[in-house]
Amino acid sequence: MHFTKARIAALEKHTRTHFINSLSGFKSANLIGTQDSQGNTNLSIVSSVIHLGAHPPLIGMIMRPHSVPRHTFENILATGVYTINHVNSAIYQQAHQTSARYDKNESEFAATGLTPEYLNEFSAPFVQQSRLKYAVKYIEHQHLAVNGTELVIGEIMDVYLDEAALQSDGFLDLQAIDTVAISGLDSYHSTNKLMRLPYAKK
């Protein structure tokens, strides 16, 4: 099937949103934990977390300032810290529910039944039920003028993980800890490992 640019532009708006959101492929499923300067907690599911580099360890995510996660972005700018928590198959429905439009004084933790957890005096909340999570120190954001989104860049600090994930070469077996993947806006998937492949040589 062939969808021309014109045919895509003519799709009903929600249809186009589903269609375009499916094109990048499978996405990461993460919960971003923050709090404001008064200590009110916020939790937001994000499918745009992306690896930026290992030396130094950097992580990025795309945020839409005028959509639901704006509390997250405001809290990150106000406090300079956040947590990233992998979504697993036991909590994906609660994780998805954090995308509802809760007011700033309503915590998504309380609303969804996920448990805030504070570790080693880091001031942003982790998700107790997550089996792989890490503290992140905000570095900077880059405004993408092309569509008004923000690329938020942070440095990976302390990492907490279920030891079932850790392999001897440093690889983390995300399938062993039931981390899920997202496709489109709303589809959640567990995974089946095909194979780890060796470093490719000519």
Please state the closest distance from residue 135 (CB atom) to its own copies, in A.
9
Please state the closest distance from residue 109 (CB atom) to its own copies, in A.
14
Q: How far apart are CA 151 and CA 140, in angstroms?
A: 8
Q: How far apart are CA 42 and CA 26, in angstroms?
A: 25
Residue 23 or residue 37: which is nearer to its own copies going by CB?
23
Residue 75 or residue 85: which is nearer to its own copies going by CB?
85
Residue 37 or residue 101: which is nearer to its own copies going by CB?
101
Q: Are 42 and 85 in contact (CB under 8 A)?
A: no
Residue 14 or residue 37: which is nearer to its own copies going by CB?
14
- 21 exposure class (CB count in 10 Å sphere: 0-12, 13-18, 19+): middle
Please state the closest distance from residue 128 (CB atom) to its own copies, in A.
15
Separation in Å, CA 10 to CA 1, 21, 184, 185: 16, 16, 19, 20
Please state the closest distance from residue 87 (CB atom) to its own copies, in A.
8
The bridge status of strand 132-144 relative to strand 50-54 is unpaired
